[in-house]
Structure formats: structure tokens, C-alpha cells
């Protein structure tokens, strides 16, 4: 018996470790080992931090098929779930991103209306004002400036605070705690503490909204609490998810996208010199495809046996679906490794796919369209103030990007 376990352990030790890092290759590309895995075949085993050996799905078509498959679960508490770190303890608060239907759908639907195309479009003028104000302040300050600090982080943070009804004055507190939640190298205790702190903060805020509702998403949830559909703790948990998801992702797309454009000056010039909103929209989609910042892979576990790409994923086996490599699949995208803001094919998986597909994608799109249409036109001489080698990349975070981007003009 122990011999069999020993053999299995030895075999597992031979497998490539996941996640792989972009540190050894081009900072805008998926890790070289992941590209090699895609060339070698559609499915393979990898080894995680805890010694488990889930499947890695490398090709676009299989990734989409699995993300849309109801035999796949996103429930982090299920045995076999390929967690990026220690799983939360029984009874810990969990957001609907880590739940299955019907509970996932029930909770998601409660917060869906403010993220509709129509309601997000109505926010465009306010987002434009925020972008212009931040640029005015940056231009009035000294050079070089850190684009992350001056622009990329405050913009989505101000927008999501406004939408949720969270006081922006508390941004130091929630940005610091969000960072702890999404950093790959924080300990499980640090992550747990940060989630507890954020949960407590939003619970208290919900309490204030219950007494005095305003015109915002969290206040809309008070009606659901009052009629017993959800508890105050559930509402606070949804607030935590939306607050974290709402600013870290877009912020990284702004800073990393700008850096990618600096490194592709002809693409930067196309965007800066065009007044065509279609081109801006296309550039946003292309940068989402090319950069794919949620680089930790979608995590799932099979709840039934699934035959796919000539293999059988058994019930209870973990599945990792790295959409960054799906977005570079040569069977789907022509010349997938080049950044082409005029590319017409926007079938990327940057927002995931299936029932958990990003709830905030329209908001992210509008924010990025405003940014990419404003920043380089208002500061046509915007340029990096240091070389690529000196930029600190977030290889350690579950959302990829840059910690700082010194710029001048």
C-alpha cells in the first residue's frame, strides 16, 4: 500500500508544477512551459502546491466546452477542487464565484441589473469625468509619475465605490486588504484575515445602509435583506466580491495595457491618432485577449466522468483551464502572439465563459474604452520613464499586471 502511494508521489513529482510563471519569457505572453504544453497536446496532468495532480486543458475549444459543461463544479469546498492555496475552513464566508447553481445563480441575479449594458452605458459620462480629473491632477503634479498610483488604480476604484455606495475615503483600507486576498504569496492566514476584515467592513456598511438607504447597489440589497431573501452577512459577502473584482482587474488592464502599447509604438500611434470609437473598442478586446490578466487559470472539479479530447476526466478530479493560453490558440486566432488593435476577431476568453462569465464585463469594457480613448490623446507624448527590465511585474498575484509604471511626458 505505502509502496503504491510512494510510486504515485514519485510520478506526481515528475509532473510540471502549476501555476507556471511568465517571469522566464516575454512579460505579455503566457509562460513558455504553458505554450509548450499546448503544442504537445490538449490535456495533461500538472502538480499543484499541495501535491494534487489536476488536469490542465490547453486548447480554446476544450476550454469553452468545459466551462459551459454542467458536469463541472466551481465549488471550492468539493473534494478534488484544485485550489490555488489552502481551501477556506468549513463555515467561512464564500462568494458566489466559488458556488454552483442554483445558489450561485440566485445570488448573482440579485446584483446583475446595475451591470447591464444600458445601465453601464449611462455611467460613461461619469467615468469620462473621473478619467479627465485624474489626468488633470497627474499633469499638474511632478514628473515622472506612477501611472498605477495616479490613474490606473483610482479610476476603477472610484467607479466601483460610486456604484456600490462604498466611501472612497476608505480606499487605503480596502485596497490593501484586496491586495492580500489576490497575492499568490500571502499565507492562508493573511488571506483569511484580509477577507474577514473586508467582510466586517462591508457588514457594518450594510448596517448603515439598512438604516439610511442611498441610491446605490448595496442599498438595493437592503430590500432583499428586509424580506428575508438574504442575510446581512450574504449581502456583505457579495459586496466584498464586487469590491475586489471591480477594481483590481480593470486597474491592471489599464497599466499593463499601456505598457504593452509602449512596447508596440505603431499600435500606440494608431490608437492615439484615431477618432474612431470602433477602433478603441477593438483595441480593448484585443488587449484583453493578448494580456489575459487573470493568469491563474479557471479552477473546477468534475462531478461526473467527462470524455474530452480523447481522455476521461473522472468525477472528483480537478481541472485547470488557463484561458491565457486559450486566447493564443493558433487554431482559433491568426498570428495569435501578435498584438493587433485592428484584429476583428473578439472571441477571447478574458472574461471566462459559461455561468461564471464575468458579471462586470460591460463595466470593464466601458472603463477601458474611456481610458484608451482619452489617456493617449490627452497626453500624446506619454512614455515610460524607465526601461522594461526595471518594471516590477505581478508574477505573484492571482491578477497579473505591474506594481508600478513610472511615466513621463
371 binds ligand HEM (CB under 6 A): no
What gap in Å lies between CA 408 and CA 150, rounded to an integer?
Answer: 12
Q: List the x/- string, 182-221, binding to ligand HEM by CB under 6 A.
A: ----------------------------------------
Could you tell me if 401 and 293 are in contact, meaning their C-beta atoms sit under 8 angstroms apart?
Answer: yes
What character string, x for contact with ligand HEM (CB under 6 A) and - otherwise, covers 308-347? ----------------------------------------
Q: Please say which residue, 73 or 186, places its beta carbon nearer to ligand HEM.
A: 73
Place of cell 473534494: 79
Q: How far apart are CA 266 and CA 374, in angstroms?
A: 17
Reported as type and span, the H/E element at residue 45 is strand 43-45
Binds ligand HEM (CB under 6 A): choice among 123, 363, 391, 407: 363
Nearest-angstrom CA–CA distance, 366 and 361: 9
* Binding of residue 290 to ligand HEM (CB under 6 A): no
Q: Does 161 bind ligand HEM (CB under 6 A)?
A: no
Measured from the CB atom, the residue of 146 and 285 that comes closer to ligand HEM is: 285
Q: How far is the CB of 60 from ligand HEM (least distance, A)?
A: 14
Alpha-carbon distance of 205 to 183, in angstroms, equals 25
> Whose Cβ is closer to ligand HEM: residue 293's or residue 391's?
293
CB-side neighbour CA atoms (13 Å) of 286:
26
Burial 295-321 (b: 16+ CB within 10 A, else e): bbbbbbbbbeebebbebebeeebbbbb
Distance CA 34, CA 22 (A): 9
Q: Which of residues 98-157 bind ligand HEM (CB under 6 A)?
A: 108
Site string for ligand HEM, 222-251 (x = CB under 6 A): -------------------xx--xx--xx-
Told to check if 20 binds ligand HEM by CB under 6 A, we report: no
User: Residue 297, interface with ligand HEM (CB under 6 A)?
Assistant: no
**Strand 318-321 and strand 55-57: pairing?**
parallel
Residues lying near ligand HEM in the complex (CB under 6 A): 74, 96-97, 108, 160, 241-242, 245-246, 249-250, 253, 293-294, 298, 350-352, 356, 358-360, 363-364
Amino acid at each position: 500500500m505505502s509502496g503504491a502511494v510512494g510510486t504515485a508521489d514519485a510520478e506526481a513529482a515528475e509532473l510540471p508544477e502549476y501555476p507556471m510563471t511568465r517571469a522566464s519569457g516575454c512579460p505579455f505572453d503566457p509562460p513558455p512551459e504553458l505554450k509548450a504544453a499546448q503544442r504537445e497536446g490538449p490535456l495533461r496532468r500538472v502538480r499543484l502546491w499541495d501535491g494534487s495532480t489536476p488536469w490542465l486543458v490547453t486548447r480554446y475549444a476544450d476550454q469553452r466546452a468545459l466551462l459551459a459543461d454542467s458536469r463541472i463544479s466551481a465549488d471550492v469546498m468539493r473534494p478534488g477542487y484544485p485550489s490555488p492555496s489552502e481551501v477556506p475552513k468549513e463555515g467561512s464566508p464564500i462568494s458566489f464565484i466559488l458556488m454552483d447553481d442554483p445558489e450561485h445563480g440566485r445570488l448573482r441575479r440579485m446584483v446583475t441589473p446595475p451591470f447591464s449594458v444600458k445601465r453601464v452605458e449611462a455611467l460613461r459620462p461619469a467615468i469620462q469625468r473621473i478619467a479627465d480629473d485624474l489626468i488633470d491632477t497627474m499633469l499638474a503634479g511632478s514628473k515622472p509619475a506612477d501611472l498605477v498610483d495616479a490613474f490606473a488604480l483610482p479610476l476603477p476604484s472610484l467607479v466601483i465605490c460610486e456604484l456600490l455606495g462604498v466611501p472612497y475615503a476608505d480606499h487605503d483600507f480596502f485596497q490593501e486588504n484586496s491586495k492580500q486576498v489576490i497575492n499568490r504569496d500571502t499565507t492562508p492566514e493573511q488571506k483569511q484575515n484580509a477577507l474577514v476584515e473586508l467582510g466586517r467592513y462591508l457588514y457594518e456598511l450594510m448596517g448603515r445602509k439598512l438604516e439610511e438607504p442611498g441610491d446605490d447597489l448595496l442599498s438595493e440589497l437592503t430590500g432583499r435583506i428586509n424580506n428575508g431573501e438574504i442575510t446581512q452577512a450574504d449581502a456583505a459577502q457579495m459586496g466584498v466580491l464586487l469590491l475586489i473584482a471591480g477594481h483590481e482587474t480593470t486597474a491592471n488592464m489599464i497599466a499593463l495595457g499601456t505598457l504593452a502599447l509602449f512596447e508596440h509604438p505603431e499600435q500606440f500611434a494608431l490608437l492615439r491618432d484615431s477618432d474612431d470609437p470602433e477602433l478603441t473598442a477593438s483595441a480593448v478586446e484585443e488587449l484583453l485577449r493578448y494580456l489575459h490578466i487573470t493568469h491563474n487559470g479557471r479552477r473546477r472539479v468534475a462531478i461526473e466522468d467527462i470524455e474530452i479530447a480523447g481522455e476521461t476526466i473522472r468525477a472528483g478530479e480537478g481541472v485547470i483551464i488557463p484561458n491565457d493560453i486559450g486566447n493564443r490558440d493558433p487554431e482559433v486566432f491568426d498570428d495569435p502572439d501578435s498584438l493587433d488593435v485592428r484584429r476583428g476577431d473578439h472571441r477571447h476568453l478574458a472574461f471566462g465563459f459559461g455561468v461564471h462569465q464575468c458579471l462586470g464585463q460591460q463595466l470593464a469594457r466601458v472603463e477601458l474604452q474611456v481610458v484608451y480613448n482619452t489617456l493617449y490623446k490627452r497626453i500624446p507624448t506619454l512614455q515610460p520613464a524607465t526601461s522594461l527590465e526595471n518594471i516590477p511585474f505581478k508574477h505573484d498575484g492571482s491578477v497579473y499586471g505591474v506594481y508600478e509604471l513610472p511615466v513621463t511626458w
